[in-house]
Amino acid sequence: MNYLLKSRTRWKRWLGPGLGILCAMLLSATLGAFLAISSAPTPLLKRALTPEEAAIFAPSGSFTGRGLLLPRLSRPVNILVMGMSVLTSDVQNPPKSTENLGYLAQVNSFKGLSDVLLLVRFDPQTEELTILSIPRDTRVVTSTSGVIKINATNVLGGPAVSTLAVSQLLFNLPIDRYVRVNVKGVEKLVDVLGGVTVDIPKDMKYTDEAQHLYIDLKAGRQHLNGEQTLQLLRFRNDEQGDIGRIERQHMVMQALLQQKLNLLTLVRLPQILQVISSHIDSNLDGDELIALSIFAINTDRQKVRTLTLPGEPNSNGRRETSYWIPNENRIQEVVTQYFTQRSEKASFLVNYP
């Protein structure tokens, strides 16, 4: 009995310092990783912007200041996030590993259509995070190609043209930076984060042999891995179409934010950074990336707002192409209420540099 008591005493005596050392090591590793990102001028940049393209982004300079240890946001920031689903048919020189597969495989590229378009506002003044989803079929009018879907703007001229199109769609709203995420990176990132727990609203089943896309999910609350999460995010074969898919994207984003940063996330930080660096293209600098990440981690779930661009599908069944028709009056209300206090009337004509 005395031996057991002595063992427990020794165990407790070592437990406190042991946990302290572990936490210190994790904190040191986290700070080291963040500092490595901060020291890189453009840690995620895959595409070099021309001076004309760079000028499209808000010219007000950096939006970070120095906190006690790490950078912090110094003003509200608007970030355009694009989710890229790129197939071998979308690129001129697909990887050799995809040759002779007999189907259209996903490739880690940023040259295709942007299947997901999000404008995210980080507001340190109100401590709110607002996410506006823009349906990929949203109709815009361009000076070079006429009427097109907004997801095709990335093909026309990359992130700068997409940013310009979204800005003018939202009445010349300034957009500070862009982030393009390849769909393969989403799957890997969810796996590295340990999966995500969501409540799937209904059974989802769909097969596309041309892409080897097999979706088979059952309704109910469950913990999904990366592949299953991607199935949930890509499913759009029901009466709601792309709008239903947007709702499920919001659900997954809310769930990931709710999980917050935990001990397991810190342990996996090197793998997280590896996935981010190899599957994301952005003009964020190191300090900006860290400041945005810290803000998102610390944001209360009650202060996360998800919206969809106001509009409606075109109802003329004789048209060959389906569009999401923007509602200008309601869009202006959304911009004024959630993204800025100044809203100027603008044309829906997109002028390309």
| Cα–chain center distance at 17 | 39
CATH of the domain at 80: 3.30.420.590
288 within a domain of the structure (yes/no): yes
The whole-angstrom separation of Cα 241 and Cα 244 is 6
Q: Which DSSP letter does residue 149 get? A: E
100 within a domain of the structure (yes/no): yes
3 within a domain of the structure (yes/no): no
157 within a domain of the structure (yes/no): yes
Residue 133's domain spans which residues? 17-185+261-350
- CB neighbourhood size of 134 (10 A): 27
The whole-angstrom separation of Cα 149 and Cα 135 is 9
238 within a domain of the structure (yes/no): no
5 within a domain of the structure (yes/no): no
**Maximum distance among all Cα pairs of the chain, rounded to whole angstroms:** 87
Residue 72 identity (one-letter amino acid): R
79 within a domain of the structure (yes/no): yes
Answer for the pair 85, 112: CB distance below 8 angstroms, yes or no: yes
The whole-angstrom separation of Cα 147 and Cα 315 is 17
pLDDT number for residue 142: 84
pLDDT tens track of the chain, all 353 residues?
Answer: 554 445 455 544 544 444 444 444 444 444 444 545 444 445 566 678 899 999 898 766 778 887 677 889 999 999 999 999 888 888 888 888 888 888 888 888 898 899 899 999 999 999 999 999 999 999 999 888 889 999 999 999 999 999 999 999 999 999 999 999 998 888 998 998 889 999 999 999 999 888 888 999 999 999 999 999 999 998 988 877 888 889 999 999 888 887 765 556 666 777 777 788 888 999 988 888 888 988 988 888 889 999 999 999 986 555 578 899 999 999 999 999 999 754 334 444 444 44
Domain count for the chain: 1
Q: Of 258, 273, 283, which is closest to residue 57 (Cα–Cα)?
A: 283
134 within a domain of the structure (yes/no): yes
Q: Residues with Cβ < 8 Å from 17, sequence gap 6 or more? A: none
pLDDT number for residue 172: 93
